[in-house]
Amino acid sequence: MSLWSDFHQHRGRLIHKWDQYFPAYERHFARFRNQAVTIIEIGVGDGGSLQMWRRFFGPYARIVGIDSNVKAKAYEEHLTAIRVGDQTDRAFLDGVLAEFGPAQIVIDDGSHIMAHLHQTFAQLYYHPGFDSTGVYVVEDLHTAYWPEFGGGYRREGSFIETAKAQIDELHAQYARGAFQPTAFTAATLSMHIYDSMIVYERGRRVPNQSMMADSSGVRGVRLMFRPGTPGAAD
């Protein structure tokens, strides 16, 4: 059953997700189904999404909900843990990863405030307790356009502006020294920008190689990227 169908049949606690997220969840989370993985969702709400993740990921998954509201604790179930704390509290997040890590998936569906998104991403994305081939999701990024969340069109500090800069960072090895690779460059295999949601896949091997294959076999052609090589764009 698709996650979208599952959502439509759900009669449990309230789930609050945008419809366009469902195909993206399926695309990026499929390889984790029925595996002994740890999924952390920041923002428990009424607890419904944790029930949906349990059905989707299966019996071996450890699901951890984080929420600053103590009422979330009531949604704890077998193999679904809730920890009450703030997503900007570094010690709290360290403690969650020490207790449950390594995590393979982090979903930030918490406050949606720009400063919080940045702080949580900076801490968890590079955290030793976050799997180096894991998936990190930031949801409800329409708030990046709303001043009350610290956002605004092309406003400094908006997470969408950060994502635009990250597209450059992803390509640092081709910048011919215009800027240097970052921790994000080294860690990130891909970033997928959807309406209101970004999915990051970790697991990069740098530098990437330009490859050729023909009757004489396969070979890498890294020299094509030598700084200043005319036409070195393949």
Ligand X SMILES: C[S@@+](CC[C@H](N)C(=O)[O-])C[C@H]1O[C@@H](n2cnc3c(N)ncnc32)[C@H](O)[C@@H]1O
198 scored as a contact of ligand X (CB under 6 A) = no
Which residues have CB under 8 Å from 215's CB, separation 6+? none
The residue (of 110 and 134) whose beta carbon lies closer to ligand X is 110
The correct pick among 41, 108, 131, 169 for binding ligand X (CB under 6 A) is 41
Q: Under rule CB under 6 A, how many of the chain's residues touch ligand X?
A: 21
Output the 3-class SS for the chain. Answer: CCHHHHHHHCCCCCCCCCCCHHHHHHHHHHHHCCCCCEEEEECCCCCHHHHHHHHHHCCCCEEEEEECCHHHHHHCECCEEEEECCCCCHHHHHHHHHHHCCEEEEEECCCCCHHHHHHHHHHHCCCCCEEEEEEEEECCHHHHHCHHHCCCCCCCCCHHHHHHHHHHHHCHHHCCCCCCCCHHHHHEEEEEEECCEEEEEECCCCCCCCEEEECCEEEECHHHHCCCCCCCCC
The residue (of 45 and 101) whose beta carbon lies closer to ligand X is 45
| Smallest distance from ligand X to CB 194, Å | 16
- Does residue 112 have an active-site annotation? yes
Footprint of ligand X on 77-136 (CB under 6 A) = 86-88, 109-111, 116
| Smallest distance from ligand X to CB 162, Å | 18
| Smallest distance from ligand X to CB 58, Å | 19
| Smallest distance from ligand X to CB 72, Å | 6
Footprint of ligand X on 10-29 (CB under 6 A) = 15-17
Stretch that binds ligand X, among 18-26, 37-45, 54-62, 154-162 (CB under 6 A): 37-45
Catalytic member of 10, 28, 112, 116: 112
For binding to ligand X (CB under 6 A), which residues are involved?
A: 15-17, 41-45, 48-49, 66-69, 86-88, 109-111, 116
* Catalytic center residues: 112
